[in-house]
Structure 1
Amino acid sequence: FLGRADAATLQAVAPLVEVGLNHEQQHQELMLTDILHAFAQNPTAPAYDPAWRFPAQAATGETWVDLPEGIHTVGHAGGGYHFDNEGPAHRALVGPVKLARNLVTNAEWLAFMDAGGYEMATLWLMDGFATATRERWQAPGHWYKVEGEWRIMTLGGLQPVAPDAPVCHVSYYEADAFARWRGKHLPTEMEWEVAARGHHLNDAFGTVWQWTRSAYSPYPGYRAIEGALGEYNGKFMVNQLVLRGSSLATPAGHSRVTYRNFFYPHHRWQFTGLRLADYD
């Protein structure tokens, strides 16, 4: 069809094909996520790829990245593909704030668990604690205690929890409670983008999606695309939180600094983690 189409038809169809290809890449990631979720319910703990290992975390560098107060342009501007929710580019006041250069690790999360973090109602948003209590959360998703030791279900099967690896499969509710336990916060998506643009964040891409405390809402001046594509992002802009970066399951070339992923605050089946922010 594309080979036979005239110029006017190609001009009309090409944007639809491009959206479709990028949507297919999203489904490639979701297929891995869903395979892992399904395998995690199987008592035999099957492995999708026995040789798979969690990516090593980058070198630590400085502990915190300082973002002084300033007005920055955020959102997608210029050429290149992007989803409509990434624009329009606009100015935003960011800082002063410090962002953790590194992702929160399993060792840090185990300390939170050992301190009774899942039982401390004062650390949690009300709806979050109700969810954690109802679902009997005691650890991140896909974690299981085997002979007194915590193990995590991965694409390589059931493996010991690696202390230095970034924590994964945590909900926004859990991430927010952990940040409060540490006396810190989750960053806003604007803070994350400014820091990532400056190449200041280790593992910003390719390890775990990172929760922000920003509600998934339209940027100033946003208008949904006319027609069916207008439903692609616009109709979801309520009651969800923004994640930034990408994960180990994201297809190569699919991520970018302006990418806005979004999930409900109780979701934790995706490859989701966090980094901290400090306003002191």
Structure 2
Amino acid sequence: MNITDKFKATRKHTEKLCEPLETEDYVAQIATFTSPTKWHIAHTTWFFEEFILKQFKEEYQLFDEHFNFIFNSYYNNSGKRISRANRGYLTRPTVKRVFEYRNYVTEQMVEFLSQNPSEKVLELLELGINHEEQHQELLITDLKFMFASNPLYPVYDANFNIINSQNTDSGFAAIKEGVYEIGHQGDDFCYDNELGRHKVYLNDFEISKSLVTNGEFIEFIEAGGYEDFNLWLEEGLHWKAKKEVNSPLYWKKIDGEWHHFTLSGLQKVNPDSLLTHISYYEAYAYAEWKNMRLPNEFEWEIASEKFDWGKRWEWTNSSYLAYPNFKKSEGIAKSFIVSQTEQVVYIEKLDKTFHFKKGEKIATEISRKYNDKIIQNLIEKTNFSVISKLTDSKDYFANYILNRN
């Protein structure tokens, strides 16, 4: 598939994700950390207009000069923008108008790409495609958070079955002590925070080749894991009390049985399916209960060759920091490394809906909010293992932990 076809396929896939929606579903924003569907599909369009068509296509006519203010996200060089918390106030432009905007920009892009664009344009195009793929996942997770807050528990798509994926492997993979290389290599696309390939030293360890299941976490709940303060970080105890948390996000007990909200509606929790929607605090407590820990970023990357990854986000116990010799990309491709306490995330390929790769990493905030999360077991191959409590961390959050002494 050439890059023009990839562009068209990406645009079409975003619109396919919108097919189950009613007009009202496009506009609502029920939390400041989410965005309306209408904004997502317009923002990804604005990206191509602002950074490619406006800059490189001769005599390009803007679809609407006001859209830059309302559909910019955090690109400071592109001018002022509406506050993220206010995106849900935008009843206008209408959904119909936004789709007209998408179609206009897509057509203009396809025409422009037929004219042998420069390497610079092709680089921006690839970045824009990856950017839109990220927003495809954001669109879905924001919709799920919105629908889950509706007492009618709307069904997005009865056949959207990501939540019920299961493990295909078991046991532990052993990694020998030694010096390993970390970071992106090759000529394929990557973000700048994946660059700065360097050596790291790792001790012997073993990592689970399977992810924690719903049934395993139910055992933790039934054993009193949420009530045993000895399992929790001090910060986690405050978070749990403030939020009144006693189960994973979207879970609720009905007639003595655990149910959870999914994009296919409210369903009974399948004990064999992979656990999702867990904060670092819950993950840490679960790991303490199992006498295990979460792997760090480098352990996970090296070990990932030995297990089948890609069914969930997998969180590490590493801070979101630049690699040695990191050089921030110029312009819009740069990373926003804003805090040394934000958690590293490895984005994985999630079913056939999203398209990510090993080694990609982003930062996240501490609360579980709405993203899917899962546990990766890891065992230290030592007689004694000391696990840091990390009580001074501000923004730690992980999928799960598991380190056996």
TM-score strictly above 0.5 = yes
Distance, in Å, in 2 between the alignment partners of 1:3 and 1:244 is 32
Provide the TM-score with structure 1 as the length reference: 0.90
Number of the residue aligned with 1:246: 348
Distance, in Å, in 2 between the alignment partners of 1:25 and 1:188 is 26
1:147 positional shift: 1.7
**Secondary structure of the equivalent of 2:376?**
coil
1:234 pairs, out of 312, 323, 336, with: 336
- State yes or no: 1:177 paired with 2:285: yes
Distance, in Å, in 2 between the alignment partners of 1:251 and 1:219 is 30
1:71 pairs, out of 176, 179, 182, with: 179
Number of the residue aligned with 2:323: 219
Number of the residue aligned with 1:201: 307
The structure with more strand, counted as a fraction of residues: 1
Report sequence identity in percent.
33
The Cα offsets for residues 1-47 of structure 1, whole Å up to 9 and x where unpaired, read as 4447676xx12222222211111100000111011111110101111
Provide the TM-score with structure 2 as the length reference: 0.63
Number of the residue aligned with 1:277: 378
Q: Residue type matched to 1:215 in 2?
A: S
Q: Residue type matched to 2:119 in 1?
A: Q
Number of the residue aligned with 1:141: 249
1:256 pairs, out of 337, 357, 360, with: 357
1:186 pairs, out of 280, 283, 294, with: 294
Number of the residue aligned with 2:388: none
The structure with more helix, counted as a fraction of residues: 2
**Secondary structure of the equivalent of 2:210?**
coil
The Cα offsets for residues 139-177 of structure 1, whole Å up to 9 and x where unpaired, read as 111111112211011111111111111110001121121
| Higher RCO (CA-CA < 8 Å; seq separation 6+) | 1
| Aligned residue-pair number | 270
Distance, in Å, in 1 between the alignment partners of 2:228 and 2:297 is 27
**Secondary structure of the equivalent of 2:133?**
helix
- State yes or no: 1:210 paired with 2:314: yes
Distance, in Å, in 2 between the alignment partners of 1:66 and 1:4 is 50
Kept after mapping to 2: 8 A contact 1:29/1:249:
no
CA RMSD, 1 decimal: 1.9
| Closer, same or farther: CA 275–4 of 1 in aligned 2, 3 Å | closer
Kept after mapping to 1: 8 A contact 2:167/2:274:
no
1:82 pairs, out of 166, 177, 190, with: 190
Number of the residue aligned with 2:45: none
Q: Residue type matched to 2:262 in 1?
A: T
Number of the residue aligned with 1:103: 211
The Cα offsets for residues 233-257 of structure 1, whole Å up to 9 and x where unpaired, read as 23334331112242536744x3222
Question: Where does the alignment leave 5 or more consecutive residues of structure 1 unmatched?
Answer: none
